[in-house]
Chains A and B, each alone.
Chain A
Amino acid sequence: MAEIDTSGGGGGKHGGKVRGKKLSTKVDLTPMVDLAFLLITFFMLTTSLNKPKAMDLNMPKKLEEKKQDVKESQVINVLLAGGDSIWYYETSEGKMTDMKETSFGASGIRDVILKKQKHVDKQFGHDKTFGDKTIVLIKMAEGAKYKNMVDILDEMDITSTKIYAIQDIVPIEQETIDNDGKVKAGEEIVHSK
Chain B
Amino acid sequence: MTAMCDVSFLLLTFFILTSKFKPTEPVAIDIPSSRSEITVTDAIKISVDKNGKAYVNYPSAPFRIQALTNMAEKYPAKYGFLANLTAKQKATFGQVETFGCDAKALPDLLNKKPDEIDKLATGIPMDSLDNQLGDWIMAGRYVDPKMRIAIKGDKLTDVKAVQQVIKTLTDRDIHTFNLITTLAGGAKKAEEQN
Whether A43 and B36, one on each chain, are in contact in the complex, defined by CB atoms closer than 8 angstroms, is no
Residues in chain A near residue B65, CB distance under 8 A: none
Known contacts A53-B182, A146-B157; can you find 10 more A-B pairs with CB under 8 A?
A: A29-B2, A36-B12, A43-B12, A54-B43, A54-B180, A54-B181, A56-B176, A146-B162, A150-B153, A160-B190
Kindly state whether residue B39 has any CB partner on chain A within 8 Å.
yes
> Number of A interface residues, CB 8 Å?
48
Which of A1, A59, A62 makes the CB contact (< 8 A) with B166? A59
Whether B181 and A40, one on each chain, are in contact in the complex, defined by CB atoms closer than 8 angstroms, is no
Residues in chain B near residue A114, CB distance under 8 A: 190
Number of A-B contacts (CB under 8 A): 151
Whether A47 and B18, one on each chain, are in contact in the complex, defined by CB atoms closer than 8 angstroms, is yes
Residues in chain A near residue B173, CB distance under 8 A: 61
Kindly state whether residue B158 has any CB partner on chain A within 8 Å.
yes
Kindly state whether residue B60 has any CB partner on chain A within 8 Å.
no
- Give the docked Cα–Cα distance between A147 and B31 (Å): 8
Which of A39, A43, A154 makes the CB contact (< 8 A) with B34? A154
A window 26-68: CB within 8 A of B: 29-30, 32-33, 36-37, 39-40, 43-44, 46-47, 50-62
- Give the docked Cα–Cα distance between A83 and B188 (Å): 26
Which of B4, B8, B39, B161 makes the CB contact (< 8 A) with A53? B39
Residues in chain A near residue B36, CB distance under 8 A: 53-56, 154, 157
Kindly state whether residue B16 has any CB partner on chain A within 8 Å.
yes
Whether A158 and B162, one on each chain, are in contact in the complex, defined by CB atoms closer than 8 angstroms, is no
Whether B154 and A53, one on each chain, are in contact in the complex, defined by CB atoms closer than 8 angstroms, is no
Residues in chain A near residue B19, CB distance under 8 A: 43, 46-47
- Give the docked Cα–Cα distance between A58 and B34 (Å): 17
Q: Would A55 and B157 be within 8 Å (CB), given that A39-B12, A149-B162, A157-B36 are in contact?
A: no
B169-194 near A? 1/0 per residue, CB < 8 Å: 11001011111111110011111000
Residues in chain A near residue B177, CB distance under 8 A: 57
Kindly state whether residue B32 has any CB partner on chain A within 8 Å.
yes
Which of B8, B40, B152 makes the CB contact (< 8 A) with A33? B8
Q: Would A53 and B166 be within 8 Å (CB), given that A37-B8, A144-B159, A146-B153 are in contact?
A: no
Kindly state whether residue A145 has any CB partner on chain B within 8 Å.
yes
- Give the docked Cα–Cα distance between A56 and B39 (Å): 10
Whether A58 and B176, one on each chain, are in contact in the complex, defined by CB atoms closer than 8 angstroms, is yes
Residues in chain B near residue A37, CB distance under 8 A: 8
Whether B181 and A53, one on each chain, are in contact in the complex, defined by CB atoms closer than 8 angstroms, is yes
Identity of the chain B residue whose Cβ is nearest the Cβ of A37 in the assembled complex = B8
Query: Smallest distance from the beta carbon of A4 to chain B beta carbons, Å?
Result: 14
Q: Would A53 and B180 be within 8 Å (CB), given that A43-B12, A60-B175 are in contact?
A: yes
Which of B15, B31, B33, B175 makes the CB contact (< 8 A) with A58? B175
Which of A40, A54, A80 makes the CB contact (< 8 A) with B179? A54
Q: Would A55 and B190 be within 8 Å (CB), given that A43-B16, A147-B156 are in contact?
A: no
Whether B181 and A36, one on each chain, are in contact in the complex, defined by CB atoms closer than 8 angstroms, is no
Query: Smallest distance from the beta carbon of B136 to chain A beta carbons, Å?
Result: 19
Identity of the chain A residue whose Cβ is nearest the Cβ of B183 in the assembled complex = A53
Whether B32 and A54, one on each chain, are in contact in the complex, defined by CB atoms closer than 8 angstroms, is no
